[in-house]
Amino acid sequence: MGTNIENAPLVRMVDNLGREWVASQGGGNVVAERAHEEIHEGKHFCALGSKDIANGANFQFLIDCPFVNEVPHVVFTIESLETEMDITLKEDVSVVGNGTSIPLINNNRNSSNTARLNLYHTPNTPTGGTLILPSYGTTFKIGLGKKLGDTYRSDEEILFKKISKYLLTIENNSGSDGRINFHFCHYESTIGANPA
């Protein structure tokens, strides 16, 4: 009879790059990145969709992080399907209203946990904030058929600040109407909440 790995105790390890891994103590070498364990624990959430953006217009996402003890580990991808788009990300913005909620689904469909991070589009009167993307220059441009961001990987995630709001703006100045695909993923963890 083999060991039931699903019920085996887990050991958490940190490698020399500071990445957390989880390994099973029961039979075999089963190792998974921390983010994968979060899926199993029902703490990993995603939203995806597409949006038409007319020439000369923009589309804005508001990411609200109301956390006190945990931080969201976030990865997002914006793909421009038909035209070039300009992208900025600001931290600590203020808004009159959050806008329209975008549902975040739990990647573990057997879990009843819901996300505490809130994702919105079209916030009302966003002002202020610190430009963090791009870190140099005033805007980041993605070309036709190109993406900003990555798939879900621990070395590509951003740990957003606790009790903070972020404004992601995608602007179409290409001369023609365009369309984007978006994909937001995050998990919520105390890891990284209180760095040295």
Average pLDDT over residues 105-131: 96
In this prediction, residue 25 carries a pLDDT of: 54
In this prediction, residue 103 carries a pLDDT of: 97
Same domain, yes or no: 103 and 154:
yes
Same domain, yes or no: 31 and 60:
no
Same domain, yes or no: 128 and 66:
yes
| pLDDT-derived band at 14, boundaries 50, 70, 90 | low
Same domain, yes or no: 93 and 180:
yes
Residue 126 has pLDDT above 90, yes or no: yes
Question: What is the count of structural domains for the chain?
Answer: 2
Strands, E assignment, the chain: 10-14, 20-24, 31-33, 44-53, 58-65, 71-80, 85-91, 100-101, 105-106, 118-121, 130-133, 140-142, 147-149, 158-159, 164-171, 178-189
- Pair of tokens at residue 66: 């109301």
Q: Hey, which residues does 24 pair with through a beta bridge?
A: 10
Q: Is residue 196 part of a domain?
A: no
Same domain, yes or no: 137 and 163:
yes
With residue 19 as reference, give the H or E element that holds it.
none
Check if the beta carbon of residue 79 is closer than 8 Å to that of residue 143.
no
Range of the domain at 3: 1-40
Q: Is residue 195 part of a domain?
A: no
pTM: 0.79
In this prediction, residue 68 carries a pLDDT of: 85
Q: Which residue has the higher pLDDT, 91 or 157?
A: 91
Task: Give the position of tokens 């805007």.
Answer: 139
Distance, in Å, from the CA atom of 14 to the CA atom of 22, rounded to the nearest integer, reads 9
Q: Is residue 70 part of a domain?
A: yes
